[in-house]
Structure 1
Amino acid sequence: MRRISQRFGALRVRIGSTGTALAVAAATVPVLALGLGAAPAYAAPLPGGLGPCVPGSCPNPFPGVNNGPFAGRDNAINVFVGDDFLVRGRAAEAEGRVVVLDDFDQQKEAGASSLYNLGIAGVGSRVPPPAGADFLTTGGNLTVAPGQRLDLTGGVLETPGVARYAGTESGTVDGRLVHDQGAARPYVGLRDELTAASQCYARVGGSSRPATGTAVNEGGQTVFRGNGRSPIQVFNVDFDLTAPGGGPQGLVFENIPDDATVLVNILGANRTVNTYSGGIDDSTDPLNALRERLLWNIPDATSVRLQGIGQMQGSFLIGDQASMTTVTMAGVNGRFFTTGSLTHTSIEGGGGGQEFHAYPFDGDLPDCSGPGPVTGEVRVLKTDADTGETLPGAEFELWRESNGIRGLQTGGTTPDTRVTDCVTAADGRCAVTTTSGTYYWRETAAPAGYELPDPAVFGPLVLTEGNAGRGVQVEARDIAVPGPDNHGSIHLTKTDRTDDSPLPGAVFETWRETNGIAGLQTTGVNPDIRFGPGCSTDEDGRCDFTDLPLGDYYLLETAVPEGFARPENPVFGPYAVTAANSSTGVEVELSNERREPCKGKNC
């Protein structure tokens, strides 16, 4: 049952609440929060029932890291990944149930062990999921590189774990494979819930959650000093947990009450933890004693690096859905929940054996049962510019405006934030549910038979509390690659208006009318489409724009020859390229006025 905890000093009293008992009806159904009345602010669990061991045979207590017989079974999610889970380098295993909303991709480095264990670890808590349960669930593709193997059996071949996947499957998987297009559907909502919880744990009313203790990086170690009395010990860290130069350091906790929950909020856009603390033997390092009530919360970082030779203790929550977390720690002992992507790998040129070990999180956290951040759909609709038919197979990136500079910046020192990738489905749509903000869709590859638009950026799309219910959408139109019978040309002659002589050096762009709005629009949410490269008039004053699909076009004059004035309105057209004129082309004559030389004392 969902519990409410009250603490008085070191005394902990558990009060059962009324309601339906928590249970797992099937391996594909997550344990959901029961929707009971709001718990006190100091006694709330993680969202969705995540954290504790799910019966029925949970050991009490969980054993330390070992390679003995199974100590029990735990059907809770131990690793949750909101985007892609990438196994690289010499990483070894992930114990417990693993849920991935997008792709699981195993491509370990050459020369490493070809094996990655999942569900059952050779060395760990030795509390795997129930026999025959879903060890791995993925909402995308399940890919294991040739010559490698994903093992969901732990050597117990008569009751293998299940790999349930929604997309495609390739490679060698020891276990039972189940193709299920709705595999990840029960877990999709957890992503936004975890993002909201991560923000709530870190902030109250837009300001950092009040700390109950201090965290000081002393170089060789970071010391967390509690106040000795609060049932939730809160620490706010705005620095990397590393030694000078980025090397490993120790992690020390002092003055923490017995049975208190420890919440460490690691704030900042990019964060690294590099430690030698934590041990295989629970008696060798005091950090191990905090394992099942310690949460490392990283709400903002889009790049997270977890490094070191230690057996890291405690659970992790990474709240930014655009994040990539790279884990090269020897061991992570606790739940691991990221709303972004995860790379499990080893240090370059170094040893392997990196492991996730399954341990519960039983702490009580700040109550985040109130309204979370506003979320809604940000969509792009891909269509044929001529017919309006929807187009599958267009590849897009969704970017969030984050650097305060107008327009989309994808490179440089301060780019905007890439949220995710998407390929349009049969209905021509990509849709992403995300928090309120300003977004851009960037088309990176057109469907077969179509040309990539120029510009290929669509937006800004502004998702607000007012429109989140219906979402925001932009239509992106692609032009078919010209064929022999469906294209024409425009032939431009540019002259000097004074004497009708040919005028070289005038530069034009060709834009196709695609958005159904009168006149040329080159920017905004739904611009027309630029077609082909620019053209500079030659010595005869000519520019030829060829291979134009049938349609209406504008010529935009972007530069004029030396000594001539740019027109007040540099847009000309529209000019209709039709089947009737496709063989001869459309002839256009334009002229420029000379710019009078400057005279007088102000020249």
Structure 2
Amino acid sequence: MRATLPSLIPSGMRYLCLLGVVAGGGLSPVPAAAHSSPHAGHAPAGSSVAAAKPLPGGLGPCVPGTCPDGGYPPVNNDRIKYRDNAVNIYVGEDFLVRGRAAEAEGRVVVLGDFDQNKTAGASSVYNVGEAGVGSRVAPPVGADWLTTGGDVTVAGGQRLLAEGGVVRHAGDASGRIVGTLRKDPDAATPYVPLRDELTAASRCYAHPDGGTRTPTGTVRHAGGETLFRGDNSSDLQVFNVDFDLMGGNGGQEGIRFEGIPDGATVLVNILGTHRTINTYSGTIDDSSGLNKLRTRLLWNFPDATSVEVKGTGHFQGSILVGHQSSNTTVSVPGINGRFFTTGSLTHTSSASGGGGQEFHNYPFDGDLPDCATVSTSGQVKIVKKDEASGEPLAGAEFELWRETNGDDGLQTGGADPDTKVGDRCVTEEPGTCASSVPLGTYYWRETKAPAGHVLPDPNVFGPLELTAANADEGVTVTATNKKKPTVEEGSVTVVKKDKKTGKPLAGAVFQLWRETNGRTGLQTSGTSRDTLVDAGCATDGRGRCAYRGLDLGSYYLRETAVPDGYVLPRNRVSGPHKVTAGNAAKGVTVTLTNQRGGGKKGK
């Protein structure tokens, strides 16, 4: 029985389930955004759904419009007969149009910015939705042909054409854009959960349970080609590739498949962090064997942060790039299949010349490994303890950050920081902070230590790798704090000022007494009087007198003399002034005033 991937329906996203009878039958969930019909992907009455077992969110098969009955036609420039409302290109970050690139056929969804700035002297036009040459299966007229979660920017002297559709953008739109413009802050919101789902699916297809998926066939890289040899029997043909698909000198090479049963799905996991495909294989007229695998062929890049697809071939099959910090550059004449990246995409042309590079709208109808049970999120936790005793500590404050910029370690500032997740978290009595988050790499950053403890240095804990393999259990890190050094001595400083002007007064004399007899107030005589600590301290030119090296306890100040021209206050005693462990390091400061009166120094 063929393994299938049920749709991973994300929370917060509404779906419309469309039922139809086609070859193979089936159910295709389709994202229904919070907008009216053309944007939402509702099916016209009487239409059918070309459905197979899809990628997450129902991605892959054709969605009516009017889907072709007998398969998609080869690349052509005939009149448009069919309409497909499925997403053909999904970009988790930014989509850059550069060089002499020409067209992106089908619906395009970009969570970040769409930026068109082609080479001077190239055609000034870039098409989305409809292509002059392609499968000629375009989105329905009036549907959203381009959706962005950021800005749409078209360079001066250039045009972005979406003449029969809507360009729905959350950010600003600038430059010449031909089509219906609709600014919508929530334009990309329905598609945001798909990013984490595609990442999780990409990892699952290649690395189930944290390992590497068992291949069913072999891959040989020699003789100017990469040969994929299947087992002639499995419904799912799995190949793992850990090298670049190009010649030894970096030139083009062929791609060939053998031993693939009719109707089988082909999953190619291209492993490694930097990967290049440079090929002449694939034809515009569907005359090659590679073209015949197109709708059941998925090229999966689960690990790569850099992907390049170049050469002179019309590349066949759908592409999935799962790393969210990835950058993919496409410069082949044509990509004939769905293109889904959770990172950024640059559509450009070869540095050596030539233009007209295109994405063509072709479905993916293959059956993939069952990843429905793979968790797409889990818990990231930090446990705060006292370093000496191991007791949990309440009151520590943390920020959670997600690794998003591709640089090792946590970056919280600069032009390209990692991403802060949620609000600050303060540990309670169990000493823990925890957050349920999508799969990825995370750091806890301590911003405030518990009372009586010192902020650790460094104050960043991680990286914590939350994967499909450990998501159910979650990942935890323990962080400790040292207690602040115990302060057993403090100080009391008296500041003397003119009551009216606030000017500092020199020459005021004070005694310092410590509360020792347990009776309220200061007692300076008798058998049970309090204890005299200092018999007299005169304020200096700043009006200050300080008593240092004091034991923790309560103290009184008793004024015994005032500056010339001032009088003693009616109550010469102030206090009690408490010196505690909490204020000992800073000390206690007492401000007292005198009024003018009398020509001689008061006694």
TM-score range, shorter chain: 0.5 to 0.7
Q: Return the alpha-carbon distance in structure 2 between the equivalents of residues 467 and 200 of structure 1.
A: 13
What's the counterpart of residue 47 of structure 1? Answer: 56
Q: 1:169 to 1:375 in 2, by over 3 A?
A: farther
Residues 212 and 234 in structure 1, CA contact (< 8 A), matched pair in contact too: yes
Q: 1:468 to 1:345 in 2, by over 3 A?
A: farther
- 1:88 Cα shift? 1.1
What's the counterpart of residue 241 of structure 2? Answer: 237
- Matched letter for residue 60 of structure 2: G
Residues 41 and 85 in structure 2, CA contact (< 8 A), matched pair in contact too: no
- 1:318 Cα shift? 0.5
Q: Return the alpha-carbon distance in structure 2 between the equivalents of residues 269 and 357 of structure 1.
A: 27
Aligned pair 1:357/2:366, yes or no?
no
Any gaps of 5 or more consecutive residues in structure 2? Answer: 6-21, 44-51, 382-399, 426-434, 446-456, 486-582, 587-603
- 1:419 Cα shift? 9.0
The 5-angstrom pairing of residues 344-423 of structure 1 reads: 344-375=347-378, 399=403, 408=409
Q: Return the alpha-carbon distance in structure 1 between the equivalents of residues 370 and 323 of structure 2.
A: 20
2:310 to 307, 327, 350: 307
- Matched letter for residue 125 of structure 2: L
Q: Return the alpha-carbon distance in structure 2 between the equivalents of residues 397 and 88 of structure 1.
A: 32
Aligned pair 1:108/2:118, yes or no?
yes
- 1:459 Cα shift? 5.8
Q: 1:464 to 1:128 in 2, by over 3 A?
A: closer
Aligned pair 1:298/2:308, yes or no?
no
Q: Return the alpha-carbon distance in structure 2 between the equivalents of residues 80 and 456 of structure 1.
A: 39
Q: What are the Cα deviations for residues 383-408 of structure 1, in whole angstroms up to 9, with x where unaligned?
A: xxxxxxxxxxxxx99636989xxx73
Aligned pair 1:195/2:199, yes or no?
yes
- 1:96 Cα shift? 0.3
Residues 375 and 471 in structure 2, CA contact (< 8 A), matched pair in contact too: no
- Matched letter for residue 243 of structure 2: F
Q: 1:432 to 1:169 in 2, by over 3 A?
A: farther
Q: Return the alpha-carbon distance in structure 2 between the equivalents of residues 281 and 376 of structure 1.
A: 50
Residues 334 and 357 in structure 1, CA contact (< 8 A), matched pair in contact too: yes
Q: Return the alpha-carbon distance in structure 2 between the equivalents of residues 174 and 90 of structure 1.
A: 19
Q: 1:135 to 1:314 in 2, by over 3 A?
A: same
- 1:369 Cα shift? 0.8
What's the counterpart of residue 179 of structure 2? Answer: 175
What's the counterpart of residue 521 of structure 2? Answer: none
Q: 1:121 to 1:355 in 2, by over 3 A?
A: same
What's the counterpart of residue 286 of structure 1? Answer: 289
Q: 1:202 to 1:4 in 2, by over 3 A?
A: closer
- Matched letter for residue 301 of structure 1: A
Q: What are the Cα deviations for residues 550-587 of structure 1, in whole angstroms up to 9, with x where unaligned?
A: xxxxxxxxxxxxxxxxxxxxxxx9998xxxxxxxxxxx
Match of 1:370, SS state, is coil
Q: Return the alpha-carbon distance in structure 2 between the equivalents of residues 400 and 105 of structure 1.
A: 21
Q: Return the alpha-carbon distance in structure 1 between the equivalents of residues 369 and 471 of structure 2.
A: 30
Residues 81 and 340 in structure 1, CA contact (< 8 A), matched pair in contact too: yes
Q: Return the alpha-carbon distance in structure 1 between the equivalents of residues 102 and 167 of structure 2.
A: 18
Q: 1:469 to 1:167 in 2, by over 3 A?
A: farther
The 5-angstrom pairing of residues 590-601 of structure 1 reads: none
| Identity, % of aligned positions | 54
Residues 221 and 251 in structure 1, CA contact (< 8 A), matched pair in contact too: yes
Match of 1:244, SS state, is coil
Residues 217 and 239 in structure 2, CA contact (< 8 A), matched pair in contact too: yes
Aligned pair 1:29/2:40, yes or no?
yes
Q: 1:365 to 1:321 in 2, by over 3 A?
A: same
Aligned pair 1:144/2:154, yes or no?
yes
Aligned pair 1:317/2:320, yes or no?
yes
- Matched letter for residue 28 of structure 1: H
What's the counterpart of residue 166 of structure 2? Answer: 162
Match of 2:340, SS state, is strand
Q: Return the alpha-carbon distance in structure 2 between the equivalents of residues 222 and 21 of structure 1.
A: 36
What's the counterpart of residue 590 of structure 1? Answer: none
Match of 1:175, SS state, is strand
The structure number with the bigger radius of gyration is: 2
TM-score for both structures, normalised by structure 1: 0.61
- 1:130 Cα shift? 0.3
- 1:193 Cα shift? 0.9
- 1:205 Cα shift? 2.4
Match of 2:83, SS state, is coil
What's the counterpart of residue 93 of structure 1? Answer: 103
Q: 1:177 to 1:332 in 2, by over 3 A?
A: same
Q: 1:20 to 1:53 in 2, by over 3 A?
A: closer
- Matched letter for residue 136 of structure 1: L
Q: Return the alpha-carbon distance in structure 1 between the equivalents of residues 439 and 342 of structure 2.
A: 13
Residues 268 and 301 in structure 1, CA contact (< 8 A), matched pair in contact too: yes
Q: Return the alpha-carbon distance in structure 1 between the equivalents of residues 444 and 40 of structure 2.
A: 34
What's the counterpart of residue 48 of structure 2? Answer: none
What's the counterpart of residue 217 of structure 1? Answer: 221
Q: Return the alpha-carbon distance in structure 2 between the equivalents of residues 574 and 254 of structure 1.
A: 81
Q: Return the alpha-carbon distance in structure 2 between the equivalents of residues 246 and 402 of structure 1.
A: 26
Q: Which moved more, 1:210-219 or 1:247-256?
A: 210-219
Q: Return the alpha-carbon distance in structure 2 between the equivalents of residues 232 and 268 of structure 1.
A: 22
Any gaps of 5 or more consecutive residues in structure 1? Answer: 6-12, 33-42, 154-159, 379-395, 411-417, 442-454, 473-515, 521-572, 577-603
Q: Which moved more, 1:432-441 or 1:185-194?
A: 432-441
- 1:98 Cα shift? 0.2
- 1:467 Cα shift? 10
Q: 1:439 to 1:305 in 2, by over 3 A?
A: farther
What's the counterpart of residue 257 of structure 1? Answer: 261
- 1:437 Cα shift? 3.0
Aligned pair 1:61/2:62, yes or no?
no
2:334 to 331, 335, 338: 331
Residues 4 and 16 in structure 1, CA contact (< 8 A), matched pair in contact too: no
Q: Return the alpha-carbon distance in structure 2 between the equivalents of residues 68 and 116 of structure 1.
A: 19
- Number of equivalenced pairs: 424
- 1:57 Cα shift? 0.8
Match of 1:439, SS state, is strand
What's the counterpart of residue 131 of structure 1? Answer: 141
Q: What are the Cα deviations for residues 419-461 of structure 1, in whole angstroms up to 9, with x where unaligned?
A: 9766999x999x99642433389xxxxxxxxxxxxx9996647
- 1:370 Cα shift? 0.7
What's the counterpart of residue 439 of structure 2? Answer: 435
Residues 376 and 463 in structure 1, CA contact (< 8 A), matched pair in contact too: no
- Matched letter for residue 370 of structure 1: T
Q: 1:48 to 1:373 in 2, by over 3 A?
A: closer
